[in-house]
Structure formats: structure tokens, C-alpha cells
A and B are shown apart, each in its own frame.
Chain A
Amino acid sequence: MKFAIVVFPGSNCDHDAYHATRHVLGQDADFVWHKETDLKGADVVVLPGGFAHGDYLRTGAIARFSPVMDSVRAFAAAGNPVIGICNGFQVLLEAELLPGAMLRNTDKYKCEYVYARVEQTDTPFTNLCTKGQVLKIPIAHGEGNYYADPETMAGLHANRQVIFRYVSHEGEVTAAANPNGSLDSIAGICNLARNVVGLMPHPERACESALGSADGKIVLESVISVFAKA
């Protein structure tokens, strides 16, 4: 199966995603420049981390209007899997492919390992996980403070769209384990159709134990398994 990794000017985790999908997981992967509209026959689209367009104006605000986003929107509307990691999550929010918005972290830029608990397993990126599974994955962001109005939050919970939450090592939701002030300790969500997932932690940087953790691999293996079954 094939991953398309979108590259915006300022993306800097595009090669991490490429390395994880191609070299660690042995899948086909290709970069797609943001001015292109051809997703090259990919089965999965990755919007990687970084600082698209320098994070100018707001994170993801300019990237939303890149030509490639029309293709990503159509790809997602057809039910295909799309994952936005960190800045990619921010782009999905600005593009309104996912609900809500990001605020600045409550204190500062955070670059550290966190524990992300899998809340729902019926998405293409968590189907190999068990509910409540805790993944040790790094974060690196200054704007991961997820916000949505009370009505949107109620909808997210009612429709089981909260996919990852920040927890302690023991898997408990605590204020101390929330690195950025996110509402309800939200680390990742999905859309109503469940094929578009965005998360702030970087699973693609946690695919080899030599690099500190291999817990993130299951996120990519999940989507690979969807196509292996097909």
C-alpha cells in the first residue's frame, strides 16, 4: 500500500513520516508538494508535522488554501484515511476537516515524551490498539491547546470522536499529565465518518525502540492492516 506525504513549505517531519512508512514498515511512500494536486494513487494521506508557511497568521491557516488541500478534501470525502500529525492536525482544523481550533499552550513550547491513551479503536489508525492502551509518544509543539465551544465538545463526546487523551504513565487523566492545557486532555480526534484523524503526538517518531519508543508504530500498522485485509 502507498502513503502520500504532503510537503508544505516549512514541513519538517515529512522525512520522519517517510522513514517510518518506507524504511521501518516497508510500505510504498511518496512526497506530494503542496502545489501539486495529484496524490499519486496513494491509499493513505499523511499531513506531517512542522511549521507550514512558518505558522504565519495562525498554525495551518495558510496551508489550508494550498492547492493540494482540494485533493485531500476530496480524498477524505470519499472515505479514505487521512492522518494529520501535529502541524498536520492544525491544518486539518483550519481546513474544517476536523472540528475545533488550537490555542497557544498554557505555558510554553513543549518537547517531551507524553503518554497518550487510546480512547476509541474503530478508526483506521487505532484498529490494532486495545481501548485504554497507553502509548509513549513524543510531542513537540507550542500550539496544541485544543479548544472547541461547549456544543462542539458535547458532539465530540457523544459521537466518540475523542481518539487520544493525555494521561499519566498509569493511564489516568490528570492535570499534571496534560502538557498544553487541552480541553478534556484531548490529544487527538477524528471526524464523524472516522476516516480523518488528527493528533498532536508524533507516532512516526516513535517507531523504533532505538529512538526511545516504538509505541507509535501501531498507529501506522493499524492503517496498513486495513489494506492488508482488503
Chain B
Amino acid sequence: MTARVYVTLKPSVFDPQGHTITEALHQMGYGGVDDVRQGKYFELNLPGTSADQARTLATEVARKLLANPVIESYRIEVAE
């Protein structure tokens, strides 16, 4: 299976990079972009696992390493 992990800053946490990107887009004329939140994307290749096993393992590594629970949250998708 493949597990896709999306890590983003919690909504309550200010995103300086997203803010800078928003400002750049406004400067480029994309005034319709109200806000940008930046995040990270990980693909975990997990051969020989079931969907449940892949999700359990991805959750564990997201919690321990990929995301910092103080500032970030994560979302996991599992696919063939």
C-alpha cells in the first residue's frame, strides 16, 4: 500500500510562509486569493501491508516524526 501524509499548520497557528506567498500573489494581480496555507506532503511506500496496517503505521510515524503536534496537524490517505 501507499500512505499519503499531509501535514499542515494548525488553523490557530500563523503561517509566515503562507502569508508571504499570499502577498506575492496579490502583487501578481491575484487579488482573489484571500489566504494561502503551506504544508508538507509525504508518500510512504509500504509493501506487503493491508490498508489498515498502512494507516496504523502512517499514523504512528506522522505522530512521532513527520508532524510536530505543538504546531501541526496531519491527514492520512491510503491507496493501492
* Chain A residues close to B by CB (< 8 Å): 57-58, 61, 65, 93-94, 100-101, 103-107, 145, 147-149, 181
Contacts and interface: CB of A to CB of B under 8 A. Distances in A.
Contact of A147 (B13, B17, B20, B66): B13
Given A106-B16, A147-B13, A101 B71 contact: yes
Given A105-B16, A106-B16, A107-B16, A58 B70 contact: no
A58 B16 CA distance: 15
A101 B17 contact: no
Interface string B8-48: 01001111110110000000000000000000000000000
B65 interface: yes
A104 B14 CA distance: 9
A148 B16 CA distance: 16
A94 B16 contact: no
A57 B16 contact: no
B68 interface: yes
A103 B16 contact: yes
Given A57-B65, A57-B66, A61-B65, A145 B16 contact: yes
Contacts of A65: 65
B68 A61 contact: yes
Contacts of A149: 12, 70
A147 B71 CA distance: 8
Contacts of B19: 106
Contact of B71 (A103, A105, A106, A181): A103
B68 A58 contact: yes
20 contacts: A57-B65, A58-B68, A61-B65, A101-B68, A101-B70, A101-B71, A103-B9, A103-B14, A103-B16, A103-B71, A104-B17, A106-B14, A106-B16, A107-B20, A147-B70, A147-B71, A148-B70, A149-B12, A149-B70, A181-B14
Given A104-B16, A145-B16, A94 B71 contact: no
A103 B68 contact: no
A93 B15 CA distance: 19
Contacts of A105: 16
Nearest to A104: B16
Nearest to A96: B70
Contacts of B65: 57, 61, 65
Contact of A100 (B9, B12, B66, B70): B70
The residue among B15, B17, B71 with the most chain A CB atoms within 10 A of its own CB is B71
Nearest to A101: B70
The 6 A-B pairs of least Cβ separation, nearest first, read A101-B70, A104-B16, A101-B71, A106-B16, A101-B68, A104-B17
A181 B14 CA distance: 10
Nearest to B9: A103
